[in-house]
């Protein structure tokens, strides 16, 4: 076996360039495989799209003028998370009703943990102007909403 002389910077850099050059063709393939593996982290979560927002549509003006609250519904045909956002709290319910844990995540990485009761109800403080999403975990389902600004 040939002994490498790495006490010379030029020889060390040449050996390093040779080693990196051998793997260069694999970089794109390894990056693609890494991204594919990363997407599997949420494979068990049902993505719930925003299906209703009371601040949009023809009734938005009259609703906003009446009490300042906002109603959001995220869901599919089988599952939903409904929120009522007021100035002092967020009221929510997981449907079909089930006890579980809810995490309110913000775009800056902070998280608020909330417990949903047996009927799926939960309450937390509002985060005005924040971009948020909910992760809900019950005994038989894992849900995640799309991002929305409160």
Chain centre to alpha carbon of residue 73 = 16
As given in the structure block, the two tokens for residue 109 are: 């990485």
Question: What per-residue confidence (pLDDT) applies to 63?
Answer: 44
Residue 138 has pLDDT above 80, yes or no: yes
Q: What is the pLDDT of residues 75-121, one digit of tens each?
A: 887 888 999 999 889 999 999 999 999 999 998 889 999 999 999 99
Give the mean pLDDT of 57-66: 52
Q: DSSP letters of 43-74?
A: TTEEEEEEEEETTSSTTHHHHHHHH--EEEEE
Q: Between the ranges 37-51, 55-69, 73-87, where is the mean pLDDT highest?
A: 73-87
**Domains detected in the chain:** 9-41 (no CATH), 44-149 (2.60.40)
pLDDT band at 133; cut points 50, 70, 90? very high
Q: Which two tokens stand for residue 101?
A: 């844990």
């Amino acid at each position: 076996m040939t002994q490498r002389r790495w006490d010379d910077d030029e020889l060390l850099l040449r050996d390093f360039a040779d080693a990196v050059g051998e793997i260069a063709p694999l970089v794109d393939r390894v990056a693609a495989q890494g991204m594919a593996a990363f997407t599997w982290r949420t494979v068990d979560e049902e993505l719930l799209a925003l299906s209703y927002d009371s601040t949009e549509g023809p009734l938005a003006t009259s609703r906003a003028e009446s009490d300042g609250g906002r109603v959001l519904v995220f869901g599919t045909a089988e599952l939903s998370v409904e929120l009522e956002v007021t100035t002092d709290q967020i009221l929510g319910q997981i449907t079909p009703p089930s006890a579980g844990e809810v995490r309110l995540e913000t775009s800056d990485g902070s998280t608020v943990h909330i417990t949903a009761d047996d009927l799926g109800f939960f309450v937390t403080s509002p985060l005005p102007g924040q971009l948020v999403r909910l992760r809900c975990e019950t005994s038989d389902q894992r849900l995640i909403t799309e991002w929305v600004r409160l």
